[in-house]
Amino acid sequence: MNYHYIRLDDACEFMDNHKWMTVVEFMLDRGVIPIIAVIPDCRDEKLLQYDYREENLNLIKNWQAKGAILAVHGLHHVYTTQVSGFYSFREAKSEFAGLPFDEQLEMVSHAKRIFFEVYGEQENWIWVSPSGTFDKNTLLALKRNGFDLIIDGYSDAPYKFKGLNWIPRQLSGNIIRKKHGIWGISLHPNTMSDHDIELFKQFIDNNIGCFEYNISKIFAFPFRKRGVKEVLYDFKASLLMPIRHTVIIKLLVNVKRVLLQKSKRS
């Protein structure tokens, strides 16, 4: 079993729609279904720098009509706390983690309401936390609001935990092929350079077999209960995350990626 999926983060009215169109339409053209994490009511200053375009919402709806899977990506995408939450080794900034349950319940409900008004009823309500930070109250608020699925966590297969189905996501920004398991790669089209997009396209074309996936295949996986395996994966991630973030490792990963691309070209 070897599935990769691509999650594209930060779609909203404010986005670099040229880059988004390049990435999403390339994927759809290749039959690779993206999961698009959409911000319901974007107030993130980094994203407000892009022109407001209502037509972006139509673009997203059009991608959805062509098979893209939409996920709710927070409410405003603004960090309100300095808490890392459930995964304590992640960066301490969150839109949700650390806030009281009632407040989170209202925020998630508000996010879902806005999302519903624009994109309609979803077959599966899927959640992606901004900055990957959430806590137990967030999970409870999601469950109370009828979310089925969260894209997060570490494992080689989907699992059930806290009343939600979890689709693990292990790779962030690093587009590399793994041999076994289900691997989510999250990317941010807004900040991808032309070179990044070119490498991304090459990766898809060179590994197209890993992307013969759609959401029904993922749902067909046996969602087992979170167990020792997931605890060990979490532990491994807690050890690797700080290392992965060091400059040296980042440099080595980039050098390896460039060398791999060169050897494939030659």
Q: Which is nearer to Zn ion, 99 or 151 (CB)?
A: 151
- Please enumerate, as own/partner, the contacts of 183-186 that have beta carbons within 8 Å and a separation of 24 or more: 183/3, 183/4, 183/5, 184/4, 184/5, 184/6, 184/7, 184/35, 184/151, 185/4, 185/5, 185/6, 185/7, 186/6, 186/7, 186/8, 186/9, 186/37
Q: Which is nearer to Zn ion, 131 or 137 (CB)?
A: 131
Q: How far is the CB of 77 from Zn ion (least distance, A)?
A: 6
According to DSSP, the β-strands at 164-167 and 159-161 are antiparallel
Q: How far is the CB of 114 from Zn ion (least distance, A)?
A: 16
For the chain, give the number of residues: 266
Q: CA-CA distance, 248 to 243, in Å (whole number)?
A: 9
* Closest C-alpha to 4, from 164, 217, 242: 217
Q: Which is nearer to Zn ion, 57 or 260 (CB)?
A: 57
Q: How far is the CB of 8 from Zn ion (least distance, A)?
A: 10
Q: Which is nearer to Zn ion, 10 or 16 (CB)?
A: 10
Beta bridge partners of 185: 6, 171
Q: How far is the CB of 130 from Zn ion (least distance, A)?
A: 5
Structure tokens at 140: 């409870």
Q: How far is the CB of 227 from Zn ion (least distance, A)?
A: 29
Q: Which is nearer to Zn ion, 37 or 157 (CB)?
A: 37
Q: How far is the CB of 133 from Zn ion (least distance, A)?
A: 11
Q: How far is the CB of 44 from Zn ion (least distance, A)?
A: 8
Q: Which is nearer to Zn ion, 12 or 141 (CB)?
A: 12
Binding site residues, Zn ion, CB under 5 A:
9-10, 130
Q: Which is nearer to Zn ion, 76 or 229 (CB)?
A: 76
